[in-house]
Amino acid sequence: MMPATARRLLPLAALLAWPALYPAVAAPAGAAPAGAVVLAPHRAVYELELKKSHGARTIEAVRGRILYDFSGSACEGYTLQFRQVSEFVGGEAKAVLGDLRSTTWEDGDASKFRFNSQNRLDDEQTEAVDGFADRSQKSITVTLKKPQQKTLAVTAGAVFPTEHMRRIVEAARAGKTILDFPVYDGSENGQKLYNTLTVIGKPIAPGTAVDDAAGKIAALAAMTRWPVTISYFDHAVAENSGEQTPVYAITFELYENGISRALLLDYGDFVLTGEMTSLEIKDAKPCK
C-alpha cells in the first residue's frame, strides 16, 4: 500500500476516530502468536502508466516508477524506504518531473512513528518534512522539525501506516469487508489527518495465476490475496462541513504477508496503473 507521501505527488490524501472499531493496540510478544499477521520484508518496483485522464486538468501521458523497500519485524520495528519518480505530460506537451523520497520507521507495537520526506518538481525542492509521533492513552503527540518546528495532537484513534496494513490483512482473514478509521502518516507538511474507508473484496484463492513479478515467487502462489480499495478523505473538511468526497483512492491486490500488486491510483482528474516489475522477498530477522 502506498504511503501518503506518495499520494501527495500531485493531488493527495488519509481520517476520523471510530473507537468502537478501534480497540487499543496490543504490544507484540517476543514471537508472533499462531495466526498473527506477519508482514514480509520485501523490495518491489512498480512501473506507472496513465490509464485515463479527464476533467479540467488534462494529462496526456505519464511515465514513472515506484521503489518500495520494506524491512523489519514486530520486534525491531518496521522501516519503509520509498521513492516515486514520475514524468507528467500535460495538454501543451510540457513535461513535469516529480521526484518524491520518503523514509519512515514504526515500532512493532504501533506506538512510535518517525517520518522524513522530500518532494521535488523539476529538480526544485517543493517540500521537506521531518518529525516523529508518540502514542499515549489519550492522544498522539506529533513533533515536527520541518517544514517548521511545531507540536500538535492527533486523536489516539488514528493508526500509523504499517499498523493500518496489518489491520487490513487481519480484517480480510476474518471475512470483514469494511474498515473505517483515521490514519496518520506524516503527509502534507506533517499536519494532515485523513479519514479512510477500506473495502475488501472476495478472497482470491491460492494458485490463481498472475502475470507480473509476483507470479515468479513460489511462496506467493500458496497465499490467499484480496482486492482492496482504500479511499482517503480530508478529515478537516469532513469535520467542518460534513462533506465526504474522496481526495484520493488506491486499489490493489493484497497478499496475506502484506505484499501488494496490481496498483490503481485514482487522483480524481486522472488514474494511474502500477505494474509490479520486480519483487524480492528478503529474509526476516527472528525475534530474540
Least confident window among 139-143, 150-154, 265-269:
265-269
Neighbours of 161 (CB within 10 A): 25
Question: Could you give the count of Cα atoms lying within 13 Å of 143 in the half-sphere of its Cβ?
Answer: 6
pLDDT of res. 239: 64
Confidence of residue 204 (pLDDT cuts 50, 70, 90): very high
pLDDT of res. 40: 94
Rounded-to-integer distance, Cα 1 and Cα 251, Å: 9
Residue type, 250: I
pLDDT of res. 170: 95
Least confident window among 27-31, 101-105, 210-214, 228-232:
27-31
**pLDDT tops 90 at residue 82:** yes
Rounded-to-integer distance, Cα 200 and Cα 188, Å: 26
Cell of 43: 523490495
pLDDT of res. 93: 64
pLDDT of res. 126: 85
pLDDT of res. 55: 66
**pLDDT tops 50 at residue 156:** yes
pLDDT of res. 131: 96
Confidence of residue 91 (pLDDT cuts 50, 70, 90): low
Neighbours of 33 (CB within 10 A): 7
**pLDDT tops 80 at residue 92:** no
**pLDDT tops 60 at residue 2:** no
More confident site: 60 or 159 = 159
Which residues are within 8 A (CB) of 86 and not within 5 positions of it... i.e. 6 or more apart?
Answer: 9, 48, 62, 63, 64, 65, 97, 98
Rounded-to-integer distance, Cα 225 and Cα 60, Å: 33
pLDDT of res. 261: 96
Mean pLDDT score across all residues of the chain? 83
Rounded-to-integer distance, Cα 238 and Cα 4, Å: 18
Confidence of residue 3 (pLDDT cuts 50, 70, 90): very low
